[in-house]
């Protein structure tokens, strides 16, 4: 991956923590100038940019809270200004739609209209219109990579509405790929499974919980943000230029079914 993305520019939404941070750091390590979008955690964003720069990469942070009025336009304006300042152009090569919320009011019996609408606003409406807004700045070789979730095939209690948003993202990717392929732009969706981040550490740092989840994996361990970042980084390269309209399972083989007995 070293220098494969030199002279490329990237935007990673939700890029200051967890999987988003790992993606931002991996793209920067490959030579891309990375705009790290975040919603509210100034310290996390500052730390992410500092870590990228300390490793020899280039990055800058953009604070915009998704779900608020004018969020897409504010992000696009700040991105254009940041890119022009550093490159002399507002050209964007790589867009990673990672930002999402998973907070839900429950399943079919308890989900509220307000909670449902917020999930779809942040997880579906915002990336849709962000793509619409930024497509004019992308040219041949452009990459759009959406972060979905394994919940589109694994039914988990209390995540019905969230799973619906991620299914919408996968549908967006397939259809959009057909529209922008003639421009040399690829669109793919990466679906992580159980992954340890600062938000899931409370669960996966418990040995009994980690062992239970790992037992349901083909590769018997909990995923790390770097596992997802590696897939995204590959899709951003020229080597992945013939891969589009795909939904890529990046779960380590989560919940594939019963395993053959050993012994």
User: Domain coordinates of the chain in residue numbers?
Assistant: 9-250
Distance (Å) of CA 192 to CA 32, 177, 187: 23, 20, 17
* 255 flagged as catalytic: no
Distance (Å) of CA 227 to CA 9, 37, 81: 22, 21, 32
pLDDT of the residue at 232 = 98
pLDDT tens for the chain, residues 1 to 263: 567 999 999 999 999 999 999 999 999 999 999 999 999 999 999 999 999 999 999 999 999 999 999 999 999 999 999 999 999 999 999 999 999 999 888 789 999 999 999 999 999 999 999 999 999 999 999 999 999 999 999 998 889 999 999 999 999 999 999 999 999 999 999 999 999 999 888 989 999 999 999 999 999 999 999 999 999 999 999 999 999 999 999 999 999 988 876 65
Taking Cα atoms as reference points, which of 214, 201, 211 lies closest to residue 252?
Answer: 214
Which residues partner with 217 through β-bridges?
A: 254
Could you tell me the strand order of the sheet in which 186-192 lies?
A: 58-63, 33-38, 9-12, 94-97, 143-147, 186-192, 246-250
Q: Which one of 3.30.70.100, 3.40.50.2300, 3.40.50.720, 3.30.365.10 gives the CATH number of domain 9-250?
A: 3.40.50.720
Q: Give backbone dihedrals phi and psi of 169, rounded to 5 degrees, phi first.
A: -65, -40
The angle at the Cα of 126, spanning 247 to 89, to the nearest 5 degrees, equals 90
- Residue of 38, 60, 66, 162 with catalytic role: 162
pLDDT of the residue at 106 = 78
Q: Give backbone dihedrals phi and psi of 255, rounded to 5 degrees, phi first.
A: 50, 55
pLDDT of the residue at 260 = 75
Taking Cα atoms as reference points, which of 13, 48, 55 lies closest to residue 30?
Answer: 55
Which residues partner with 187 through β-bridges?
A: 144
Taking Cα atoms as reference points, which of 96, 100, 52 lies closest to residue 229?
Answer: 96
């Amino acid at each position: 991956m070293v220098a494969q993305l030199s002279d490329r520019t990237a935007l990673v939404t939700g890029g200051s923590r967890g999987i988003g941070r790992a993606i931002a750091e991996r793209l920067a390590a490959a030579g891309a100038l990375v705009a790290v979008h975040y919603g509210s955690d100034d310290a996390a964003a500052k730390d992410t940019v500092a870590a990228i720069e300390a490793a020899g990469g280039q990055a800058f942070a953009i604070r915009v809270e998704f779900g608020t009025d004018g969020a897409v336009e504010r992000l696009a304006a700040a991105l254009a200004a940041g890119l022009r300042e550093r490159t002399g152009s507002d050209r964007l090569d790589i867009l990673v739609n990672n930002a999402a919320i998973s907070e839900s009011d429950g399943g079919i019996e308890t989900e509220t209209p307000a909670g449902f609408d917020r999930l779809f606003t942040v997880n579906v409406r915002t990336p849709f219109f962000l793509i619409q807004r930024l497509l004019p700045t992308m040219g041949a070789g452009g990459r759009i990579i959406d972060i979905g979730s394994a919940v589109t095939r694994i039914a988990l209690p209390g995540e019905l509405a969230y799973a619906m948003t991620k299914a919408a993202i996968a549908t967006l990717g397939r259809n959009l790929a057909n529209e922008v392929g003639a421009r040399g732009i690829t669109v793919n969706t990466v679906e992580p499974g159980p992954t340890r981040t600062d938000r899931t550490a409370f669960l996966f740092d418990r040995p009994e919980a980690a062992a239970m989840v790992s037992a349901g994996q083909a590769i018997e361990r909990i995923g790390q943000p770097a596992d997802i970042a590696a897939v995204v980084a590959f899709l951003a390269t020229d080597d992945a230029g013939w891969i589009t309209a795909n939904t890529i399972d990046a779960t380590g083989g989560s919940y594939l079914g019963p395993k053959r007995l050993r012994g």
